[in-house]
Amino acid sequence: MVPGPVPVDAAAGGARARMNIGQVLDLLRPDFPQVTIPKIRFLEDKGLIKPERTPAGYRKFSDADVERLRYVLRMQRDHYLPLKVIGEHLDAIDRGLEPPPIEPVVPTVPSVALAADGLPSPASFARRDDLRLSRRELVKVAEITEELLDQLEQFGLLRPRPGTGHYDTDALVIARTARELADFGFEPRHLRAFKTAADREVGLVQQVVAPMERGRDAGAKGRAADAVTEIAALSVRLHATLVKAGLR
């Protein structure tokens, strides 16, 4: 049996509404570094948690609410379960039942090499993996709808590997990121600007390395490949830092 969360009603009779959302975030972050306040609010909107509200409208979370959040986040991270399925698990637990067994999932995503500042390193751009996901597997693992995938392909944000019907790690990361941005109101059509900017950066990189690739010595192509990974990592770092500076 998968350890279940404490049902919401189990906290009744105790001090069940004593933490604000910032305190809950501090408790969750050590185990789930990617969790954010908008993510917690989103899970509440989906009915997976039901914190109390003060007369002024502020959320107050009990220990049971926090354990419920841990369960949801763990099922997403470790088992790639869609929120609908996680909701069914929680409903079963709330009714005193055992949640259904966790079935094996599709292949997990290889780790991407990151630099010390959390940005992609040159090694991440040189990475080549053999991950191949079917359309159905991509929809399941990325927790997106067929409609969203259609729109992402329509606007050129992702596509299957050339000559195959399979999707790779990059397509999965794009799909997941698009889904998370959708929580904030971004639609695929809004993301075309990101694709256009990326295409410009790719063009600049190719322009710089083209003379290297035309070198006649045996190591020319290797040096060009190394330059591509270095320049790509530097361009992403510059882009990310400019965005960060602009938002201050």
Give pLDDT tens digits for 210-236.
888 888 777 888 888 888 888 888 888
Q: What is the DSSP letter of 103?
A: P
Q: Are residues 80 and 151 in the same domain?
A: no
Q: Are residues 84 and 141 in the same domain?
A: no
- Whether 114 maps to a domain, the answer reads no
| pTM of the predicted model as reported, rounded to 2 decimal places | 0.55
Q: Are residues 72 and 126 in the same domain?
A: no
**What residues have CB less than 8 Å from 122, skipping those under 6 apart?**
226, 229, 230, 232, 233
User: How far lies 193's CA from each of 156, 157, 199, in Å?
Assistant: 11, 10, 10
Angle (nearest 5°) at CA 46 between 45 and 49: 80
Total number of domains constituting the chain? 2
Range of the domain at 162: 122-247
Query: CA 99 to CA 3: how far, in whole Å?
Result: 9
Query: CA 186 to CA 194: how far, in whole Å?
Result: 12
pLDDT in the model for residue 7: 45
Closest residue by Cα to residue 87 from 68, 101, 59: 68
| H/E stretch holding 235 | helix 220-247
Specify the range with the lowest mean pLDDT, choosing from 21-35, 90-104, 118-132.
Answer: 118-132
Q: Are residues 88 and 163 in the same domain?
A: no
CATH at 90: 1.10.1660.10
- The average pLDDT across 56-85 equals 90
Q: How confident is the prediction for the chain on average, in pLDDT?
A: 83
pLDDT in the model for residue 51: 93
- Whether 2 maps to a domain, the answer reads no
- Whether 180 maps to a domain, the answer reads yes
How many residues are present in the chain? 248
- Whether 105 maps to a domain, the answer reads no
